[in-house]
Amino acid sequence: MSSKHSSRRRELVESIAQGAVLLAQEGQILAINDAARELLAIPTRARTRSASDVLTHPELADAVDDVRDTGEPTTLEIDHAEALLRVNVSMLRDEVLVLIVDRTEESRVEQLRRDFVVNASHELKTPVTGIQTLAEALSVVVAQEEHERVAALVAQLGDEAARLAALVHDLLDLRRLEERGPQERARLDLAELVRRVVAAQVDRAEALGVELSVQAPVELLFAGVTGDLEVIVRNLVRNAITYNRVGGTVDITLRQLQDGSGEPQVELVVTDTGMGIAPSDLPRIFERFYRVDPARSRDTGGTGLGLSIVRHAVEYVGGSIEVTSHLGEGTSFTVLLPEALAPEGPTDASELRR
Ligand code: ADP
C-alpha cells in the first residue's frame, strides 16, 4: 500500500462531515476523523492504532466483526458516553468504513413530541368521556321525563364541552406560537391592552371574591403583536385569580424602565395573595400539562397549558419571565419586554416593521 494512497484515504475520511473511521481487514485503523474521535469520546492523545482502541462499545465491535465476516452492511444505534449514536458499518472493497452521527438531540425532540401526543390525548379523553356519559344519562331521563334532572345534566354537558373547547383553544394557541414565522409588529398602547384584558376577567374575580387592581401609565406605546401580549396578560391574571383565596387581591402593574445597557423595556408584574407554589414545583410550572394540584386546576377549567403558552409568547417577543412565590402567601410573575417606544416615537406603523 503506497503512502500516497494512504494519505489520500486519510484526507477523504477527514473531509467527511459525519464521524468516520476506516479499518483494514486485520483490524488496524487506517484513518479516523475528529468528529469520530469526539463522538466516540476518545481522548485527544489516546492511541488509535487498532480497532480495540477505538471501538470500545461491545455492540459496535461485534457489528464491525459481523460486517467483516459477511460483507453485508448494517446500521445500529448505541448509547455511548451519554449520547445516542447512529452507526453505519459497511465494506469498502476489503476495508471497513464506520460512519457515525449523533442522534441525541433528534431523539430528545422525538420523545418530547411523543409525550405531548400522549398527554394531549389523555387530557382530551376526560371531557370527551364526560360528554358521552352525560349524553347517555340524558337520554334515559328524557325518556322518563324528569325535567329537573334534564336541566342539571344539560348544564354539566355544557361545562364539559366548555372544558373541551378551552383545551382545543389552548392547543391551537400553543401550536400557532411554536410554528409560526416572524410576524409584523404593530404599534400598540400596552396600558390600554392590559386594562382591556383585565376588565374581561372582573366578573370572574368578583364571583371568586378576589379584587383586581391595575396600575399602568395612561399611555404606553410599544411595538409588538397584539395577540401575544393578550395571551401573556390573560393567562397570568387568570391564574392569579384562580389560585387565590376569598378576600384576596391581584395587583397588575405596568411600567417603563431601562435595561443594563440603557435600552427601554416594559415591566409587567402580576402579584397575587393566593396559595403560592412550593419551591420544588416552581421549575416545572411552565411545562405543558404540569399542574401542582390537578384536581383544583381541572375544577376551575384549567388546561395545564396556560403558562407554557405564556412562556412561548414571552420568548417570541424577545422578553423574559421570572416567578417568585411563598407558600400560603402568594406568587408574583415578572415579565420584561424589550423595545418599548417613547410616546413621541414614530406614528407610522410601517416604520416599526422589522
Ligand atoms: P392551569 O390551566 O392548570 O392553570 P397553567 O400552565 O396556567 O395551567 O399553570 C400550571 C400550574 O401552575 C397550575 O395548575 C397551578 O398549579 C400553578 N400555578 C400557576 N399560576 C399560579 C399562581 N398564580 N398561584 C399558584 N399556583 C399557580
DSSP string, 117-164: HHHHHHHHHHHHHHHHHHHHHHHHHHHTT-HHHHHHHHHHHHHHHHHH
Mark whether 7 and 151 lie in a shared domain. Answer: no
**Domain final residue pick, 45, 77, 102:** 102
**Domain final residue pick, 102, 131, 148:** 102
Mark whether 193 and 341 lie in a shared domain. Answer: yes
Query: What separation in Å is there between the alpha carbon of 241 and the centre of ligand 1?
Result: 10
Tell me what pLDDT residue 347 has: 44
State the total domains in the chain: 3
Residue whose CA is at the smallest distance from ligand 1 atom 16:
292
Q: Which of the pair, 41 or 179, is modelled with greater confidence?
A: 41
pLDDT at 9 over 60: yes
Residue 340 is part of a domain; what is its CATH number? 3.30.565.10
Mean pLDDT score across all residues of the chain: 89
Mark whether 120 and 150 lie in a shared domain. Answer: yes
Rg (CA), the chain: 30
Residue 130 is part of a domain; what is its CATH number? 1.10.287.130
**Could you list the residue range(s) of the whole structural domain that residue 90 is in?**
3-102
Mark whether 348 and 234 lie in a shared domain. Answer: yes
Tell me what pLDDT residue 341 has: 59
Mark whether 144 and 50 lie in a shared domain. Answer: no
pLDDT at 194 over 50: yes
Cell of 230: 393578550
Query: What separation in Å is there between the alpha carbon of 65 and the centre of ligand 1?
Result: 55
Average of per-residue pLDDT across 88-92: 95
Tell me what pLDDT residue 352 has: 41
Q: 285: Cβ below 6 Å to ligand 1?
A: yes
Looking at residue 57, the DSSP 8-state letter turns out to be: S
Q: What is the dihedral of CA 102, 104, 105, 109, to 10 degrees?
A: 130
Residues near 275 by beta carbon (within 8 Å), at least 6 away in sequence? 243, 244, 245, 327, 328
pLDDT at 342 over 60: no
Give pLDDT tens digits for 256-305.
888 778 888 899 999 999 999 999 999 999 999 999 998 888 788 889 99
User: Amino acid identity of 116?
Assistant: F
What global pTM score does this model have?
0.74
Q: Which of the pair, 35 or 317, is modelled with greater confidence?
A: 35
Mark whether 13 and 82 lie in a shared domain. Answer: yes
Mark whether 160 and 224 lie in a shared domain. Answer: no
**Domain final residue pick, 102, 119, 149:** 102
pLDDT at 317 over 80: yes
Mark whether 75 and 134 lie in a shared domain. Answer: no
Using an 8 Å Cβ cutoff, are 187 and 341 in contact? yes
Mark whether 66 and 113 lie in a shared domain. Answer: no
Read off the pLDDT band of 354 (50, 70, 90).
very low
User: Order of strands across the sheet with 330-338?
Assistant: 211-215, 249-258, 264-272, 330-338, 320-326
Mark whether 295 and 264 lie in a shared domain. Answer: yes
Atom of ligand 1 nearest to the CA of 307: 6
Q: Which residues of 296-317 are buried (b: 16+ CB within 10 A; e: fewer)?
A: ebbeeebbbbbbbbbbbbbebb
CA 220/CA 333 separation, integer angstroms: 20
Residue 98 is part of a domain; what is its CATH number? 3.30.450.20
Q: 291: Cβ below 6 Å to ligand 1?
A: yes
Mark whether 132 and 169 lie in a shared domain. Answer: yes
Mark whether 275 and 243 lie in a shared domain. Answer: yes
pLDDT at 344 over 60: no
